[in-house]
Amino acid sequence: MLLTLFESHTHFFLSMFQKMILTKIISNTLSLHKKQLIEWLPAVRYFSSPTNPLVNVDVNDKSGIAVVTMNRKPVNGLSLELFEAMSKALDDLENNRIRGAILTSSCPTVFSAGLDLNELYQPDKKRFKAFWTTFQDVWLKLYGSSFPTAAAINGHAPAGGCFLAISCEYRVMCPDYKIGLNETRLGIIAPIFLRASMRNTVSNREAEKALTLGTLYSTEDALKIGLIDEIAIYKVKAIERCENFLAQFNNVSSIARSFTKRSLRQKDLEELENCREEDFNIFWSNLIEPSVQKQIGDYMQSLKKK
Ligand SMILES: CCCCCCCCCCC/C=C/C(=O)SCCNC(=O)CCNC(=O)[C@H](O)C(C)(C)COP(=O)(O)OP(=O)(O)OC[C@H]1O[C@@H](n2cnc3c(N)ncnc32)[C@H](O)[C@@H]1OP(=O)(O)O
């Protein structure tokens, strides 16, 4: 932009040749000092976010790492309001140049039970559209974040819960819980962005098996297929391991790291960005199928009876 401004303002006064020389000098100076300039910008611009009861953000002043805690009891069902709070928290983190984020849950035995089934059952189109669009936003912001991310999975993480975890770059899970993408077992088809996160985490073959069978893995089995990276006995330990993972980036140029991450994930992000409306339409038309509604209704009943 600087160069464009410079070029437009000097248009009348300088010869083509003079302009070329000056443009080259400015461009060289800028690229030489880009790294220093960016590292000179206040590296610590951490914030205490206005508390949202659904998503608590706690930034450590020293490390610059934010712990983002989902807090929608009893099971962190992903409702429109929870997605809105997450979307806002991710914007705040992005704007405040934090050094990393750890996603976790305040529910003692559940990371997240996935999409709130009340959003899927007998849905109102206007609300569902807002819900789905915010769901897409959260994925685009989390999967495409410029800062590194990790999930401290301190409880069960079925479906949308697993989706949040695999949108992060690293996962530490506590023992004796279940994680996986069980959508097909509910008669619903995993959306493209969820499939992308899964393929980015486990091998293509494991992703295909996991998604088509709708398998929920134990913590130990999840480690075997690479769905998680480590096991930690308690939540506090899981957060500690995530911090250790994020601390490794202290010795890596943040620009080089975030550009590399972005370029590796770019194709997946663009795939959704280019078809958000179509993605909504496909899900909406399938969701309102009477057979799908019946399946979701029966499933909700079975959870309540339990
Ligand atoms: C063909 C295309 C169709 C398009 C459809 C669009 C959708 C696309 C899909 C996108 C991908 C994501 C999908 C999802 O996330 S669907 C949600 C799937 N979630 C699950 O299957 C998990 C269900 N829950 C459980 O298995 C257990 O609750 C859990 C293991 C998480 C915890 O067990 P626990 O014993 O601790 O707790 P309870 O089961 O007693 O539950 C406590 C209360 O919470 C209610 N509950 C649980 N899960 C949900 C949920 N997902 N949504 C809403 N409510 C939930 C449960 O009923 C209990 O309520 P009560 O206290 O009132 O009994």
pLDDT digits (tens, 9 = 90+) for 188-205: 777 777 778 888 899 989
Exposed, middle or buried, 274 (CB in 10 Å: 0-12/13-18/19+)? exposed
Q: Quick check: 41 pLDDT over 80?
A: no
Residue 269 a catalytic site member: no
What percentage of the chain has pLDDT greater than the value 90?
A: 71
Give the active site residue among 115, 211, 227, 272. Answer: 115
> What is residue 184's predicted lDDT score, i.e. its pLDDT?
81
Alpha carbon nearest to ligand 1 atom 43, residue: 74
Tell me the average pLDDT across 208-218: 92
pTM: 0.85
In angstroms, what is the span from residue 185 Cα to ligand 1's centroid? 12
Superfamily of the domain at 44-304: 2-enoyl-CoA Hydratase; Chain A, domain 1 (3.90.226.10)
Residue 94 burial (CB count, 10 A)? 15
Q: E strands along 205-267, which residues?
A: 216-218, 230-231
Reply yes or no: is the peptide bond before residue 74 cis, omega within 30 of 0: yes
The two three-digit tokens of residue 39, written as one number: 């590292």
Is 76 close to ligand 1, i.e. is its CB under 6 Å away? no
Q: Say how far apart CA 180 and CA 289 lie, in whole Å.
A: 25
Is 168 close to ligand 1, i.e. is its CB under 6 Å away? no
Q: Provide long-range contacts, Cβ within 8 A and 24+ apart, for 299-302.
A: 299/117, 299/186, 300/117, 300/118, 300/121
In angstroms, what is the span from residue 77 Cα to ligand 1's centroid? 7
